[in-house]
Chain A
């Protein structure tokens, strides 16, 4: 049974790659866009600071390298797109294709499709991040502690659990809301604002700082920058690991519950195949 599900997850991943590659210009765009997206923030930072190193940033977080600081923040936040758009749109896309009823009639639990899409989105995002890092490094050079790579990957893994839970919830909500992109947009916006991507947590208003403490991305971004460039953080690493595990548990539980409830609702209402 486990082999069956894993094969199905892999098949979903391969199918998505093939469909994406059938739209070649858009496929290429998906790898170039993240570079274009992050560049204005880097250039804006350089312009404001008047160079690479900001004494003020160093005072606030312990490292003044504005370029590495911003790029690392955006790289980690790329995984939020995996949850909100990649996973969140997995079932909605099947509704558009007209295939959702056909795949839901197959003998695999329905979360398998979302897991397949999560695998695909994560790999796609990983590829995008790789290109982003190489290009920005060639343009501006990024400096980080190589010893921090492994613990950073561990934190990304833990953060992804919670993001997958969110993705599952968004995927389910997209089945019942015709304008389902609003759910993705709202979630993405809220998390993006309160997560210290390109600015230190201390510059946020107090109430947003408190909200940020409940976001897995806060621990992900800060923890990774802590390992890679020595950013000062308001938590200990065991505390971050515990919080990420807790968020993961809560969000996955919540995501599965919402998914099961909505799956039941659309099969009761007869709206599964509607788009």
Chain B
């Protein structure tokens, strides 16, 4: 059964001057965990907002479990659990329980049934100790758990998770990721569409991934199929202190593409070449003039390499 069907979706802003989503077509099956991967501004959030009836598209058609999002918006909203990015999607002055009770009422849950469901969600999300704590006193990760509990209250068929681990520390990110994969997809059989710009997250979680770039879906396949699109099985990876001039490496004969990841004063270069061993000496010689080499080796392509290879854009 098809959960999400998007046909030729287009959404522009500022009287057509900014094209956010440009003719996107997409089909997601029931039970699938689909990831939209792309840099900031690629159109991922706009697509999610169109799906959740928060934006009216300029053109195209969206159906959620067979319901048209424009004509049957109330039905569609009943089927969706939405977690948008940012911390301020809850009432900070209310406790965890009061937040959930309010949202339960909006989703048609009341009385004993609502109470039971709220307590269940508090337990599932490991929030029992924080039940009566105001949201303003919780950590970012805890707030994200409350947001997930809120989205699950009405037991929706489809979960739209917009950057669910954005701003979380690595430990909390792992907890949320595990919950999405193990609990939501495997155990509760939910259909999940998540957006992220963390390629490790998409690689770890998703059955299929859509690369989104400049409002378009550049590629859509399983992570393994996507990685096969890189023509070489091995890449040359060099770690160094300092910031090298990328063009020095690109000019070397045999270098096809270079991905440069900079984190503080550390740089990682991932170089595509049909003969990585053959170019190694030249690359190191040029880099040594500008930076201190920390390490180098051969590695397999990641989704980020594929993304750059297919779109010419970096994810970060």
Contact = CB atoms under 8 A, between A and B. Distances in A.
A202 interface: no
Contacts of B92: 97
A11 B105 contact: yes
Interface centre among A3, A18, A272 (most CB of B within 10 A): A18
Contact of A8 (B13, B82, B94, B106): B106
A99 B77 contact: no
B102 A11 contact: yes
A18 B54 contact: no
Interface string B17-29: 0001000000000
Given A22-B93, A98-B86, A103 B106 contact: yes
B80 A105 contact: yes
A30 interface: no
Nearest to A19: B93
A107 interface: yes
Interface stretch (A70-78, A161-169, A205-213, A262-270): A262-270
**A: interface residue count bin:** 20 to 34
A108 B84 contact: no
Interface in B28-81: 46, 49, 52-56, 74-75, 77-78, 80
Given A15-B102, A22-B93, A107 B74 contact: yes
Given A105-B77, A107-B78, A267-B56, A15 B91 contact: yes
Interface in A109-134: 109
B235 interface: no
A269 B20 CA distance: 12
A101 interface: yes
B250 interface: no
Given A98-B88, A107-B77, A267 B93 contact: no
A102 B84 contact: yes
A102 B13 CA distance: 21
Nearest to B114: A7
Given A97-B88, A98-B86, A19 B74 contact: no
Interface residues of B, number: 37
Nearest to A112: B106
Interface string A19-48: 100110000000000000000000000000
Contacts of B110: 3, 7
B54 A105 contact: yes
A23 B91 CA distance: 13
B124 to A, nearest CB: 20
Contacts of B236: none
B89 interface: yes
A109 to B, nearest CB: 7
Given A97-B88, A98-B86, A99-B90, A8 B54 contact: no
Interface centre among A3, A7, A270, A273 (most CB of B within 10 A): A270
A106 B84 contact: no
Nearest to A96: B88
A11 B56 contact: no
Nearest to B18: A270
B89 A98 contact: yes
Contact of B108 (A7, A99, A103, A267): A7
Nearest to A268: B56
Contact of B91 (A99, A101, A106): A99
B110 to A, nearest CB: 5
A143 interface: no
A77 B303 CA distance: 64
Contacts of A18: 93-94, 98
A106 B90 CA distance: 14
Contacts of B172: none
B198 interface: no
Interface centre among B75, B106, B134 (most CB of A within 10 A): B106
A264 B54 contact: no
Contacts of B108: 4, 7, 107
B136 to A, nearest CB: 9
A23 B134 CA distance: 13
B249 to A, nearest CB: 40
B106 A108 contact: yes
B296 interface: no
A99 B105 contact: no
A270 B13 CA distance: 7
Nearest to B95: A18
A107 B108 CA distance: 8
Contacts of B13: 269-270
B88 A8 contact: no
A101 B106 contact: no
A192 interface: no
A273 B53 CA distance: 13
A23 B78 CA distance: 33
Contacts of B89: 98-99, 101-102
Interface of A: 3-4, 7-8, 10-12, 14-15, 18-19, 22-23, 97-99, 101-109, 264, 267-270, 272-273
9 contacts: A7-B105, A12-B102, A15-B102, A99-B89, A102-B84, A103-B106, A106-B103, A108-B106, A267-B56
Given A98-B89, A101-B84, A102-B82, 4 more contacts: A22-B93, A101-B49, A107-B78, A270-B55
